[in-house]
Amino acid sequence: MTNREFDIVVFGATSFVGKILCDYLLHEHVEPNLSWAMAARSEKKLNDLKESLGPAADAISLLIVDSSDDSSLESMCERSALIISTVGPYALYGEALVKSCCQLGTDYCDLAGEPQWIRRMIERYDADAKETGARIVNSCGFDSIPSDLGVKFLQDQSKEHFGHYCDRVKMRVKKLVGGASGGTIASGLNLYKEAANSAEIRREMQDPYSLCPAGHQLSARQHNVAAEYDEDFDAWVAPFIMASINTRIVLRSNALLDGYYAEGFLYNEAVLTGAGKRGEKMAKRLALGMKLSITALALAPIRWLAVRFFLPSPGEGPSPEQQRNGHYDLRFIGKTKNGEELRVKITGDRDPGYGSTAKMLAQAGISLCRDVDKGKVGGGFLTPAAAFNDKLITRLIDNAGMSFELESLLPVATVDGSSVAESHGELD
């Protein structure tokens, strides 16, 4: 690892997210003394990308690598300490690279939101990664860094102020402005296709612990959010489409960290729709729309029509202006068995799926290279919370337009019956 030519190779540099990520590394966050390269299968697209990035890209090496060519993948892995992969759908194009990284001891980060694929990779290559020391960290974009590191940040605050962790945590989406790219939609459609053709995957999608390690012993019944009233937020909520992957990542973190949060740890995510009748109507409308969409997209003819006439193609996505104007605001509440409560706010200054995701993924790769000691965090399939330390949160705040804020603390009542909350910012 110490003699490898590159610290990082961005594989899929010509993809929609890959282009944003490379531009970010060249023009928005130039990490000192970082040697990195851009890789993709098309030499022409790579040269076009390099030219579009301007003089700052002159010193960046280009690697021609095809996800279906094992020898080119192995050569790339042998030359780099870490690979950042944006090549999706991962279930279609991602396995060969993960296999090479695991067998050659090369660290790896991606933005996969495909739990069925992540589970297969863990089953097939976790033993190899542990033997070679390769740290494999999936879901380092909007799914699932804000959720996973948000819970970790909340739990660290709980430990500091209350002396123990929360056994119940909720995440609620207060605001989310952004668009979808064709690559993300293609990954989702492939999951629907796989589920339609496999009873095993359909059963797996009903199991919130599907990504937890074998023998994890976690069995707390997790709550599936519907259109419902949430007393903690005094508002109606609806299901959040990304909860499927985020919840599994957060629960895997709990298992990997040896009951870091709690043996009976409960976690769920939802979208805030507001109070009163208006909030109720919106929640029910969103819940019904999601249910109908999932049912419809399980049917091959409807998937074909959607791809053919309505949905963006891979390589398409939000404009630079839409990325800059996008943003998100996530709220977390945690409660302990003793009745203590705290609230956390996490925000991002770009559209979540692309502008912000590219920055998160870049910082995750840099942090895994620079901040995470292999002697302390060994090889295997990790989650963001299990792989990274507080230095990544600092990087995200300083360099990726994110905020992690403790809003309020509510301790339990004292012996004389009084209770005083420590306030760290006003809840709105």
Residues 6+ apart with CB under 8 A from 181: 16, 17, 312, 314, 315, 316, 317, 318, 353, 354
Residue 76 φ then ψ, to 5°? -65, -45
Write the pLDDT tens digit of every residue in 367-425. 999 999 999 999 999 999 999 999 999 999 999 999 999 999 988 744 444 444 444 44
Q: Is pLDDT of 47 > 90? A: yes
Instruction: Supply the pLDDT for residue 262.
Output: 86
Write the pLDDT tens digit of every residue in 336-377. 999 999 999 999 999 998 899 999 999 999 999 999 999 999
Percent of the chain with pLDDT over 90: 73
pLDDT level of residue 312 (50, 70, 90 thresholds): low
Write the pLDDT tens digit of every residue in 203-219. 888 899 999 998 888 88
3-state class (DSSP) for residue 365: helix
What does DSSP assign to residue 24?
I
Instruction: Supply the pLDDT for residue 423.
Output: 43
Instruction: Supply the pLDDT for residue 290.
Output: 82
Instruction: Supply the pLDDT for residue 185.
Output: 63
The residue with tokens 């293609």 is: 186
Instruction: Supply the pLDDT for residue 196.
Output: 72
Write the pLDDT tens digit of every residue in 222-233. 999 999 999 999
Instruction: Supply the pLDDT for residue 160.
Output: 96
Higher pLDDT, 170 or 324: 170
Instruction: Supply the pLDDT for residue 194.
Output: 75
Higher pLDDT, 332 or 411: 332
Q: Is pLDDT of 16 > 80? A: yes
Sheet with 135-137, edge to edge strand ranges: 61-64, 36-40, 6-11, 80-85, 107-110, 135-137, 380-382
> For residues 188 and 203, what is the distance between their CA atoms, to the nearest angstrom?
17
> For residues 373 and 389, what is the distance between their CA atoms, to the nearest angstrom?
10
- Return the structure tokens found at 92: 């279609």
Higher pLDDT, 193 or 150: 150
Instruction: Supply the pLDDT for residue 191.
Output: 72
> For residues 162 and 277, what is the distance between their CA atoms, to the nearest angstrom?
37
Q: Is pLDDT of 249 > 60? A: yes
* Among the ranges given (50-64, 129-143, 186-200, 386-400), the one the predictor scored with the smallest mean pLDDT: 186-200
Q: Average pLDDT of the chain?
A: 89
- Return the structure tokens found at 240: 């959040």
Residues 6+ apart with CB under 8 A from 33: none
Write the pLDDT tens digit of every residue in 96-137. 999 999 999 999 999 999 999 999 999 999 999 999 999 999
The residue with tokens 């990082």 is: 8
Question: Where do the domains of the chain lie?
Answer: 6-141+354-397, 145-350+402-423
Percent of the chain with pLDDT over 70: 87
Per-residue pLDDT, averaged over 11-20, amounts to: 94
Instruction: Supply the pLDDT for residue 428.
Output: 40
Fold (CATH) for 6-141+354-397:
Rossmann fold (3.40.50)
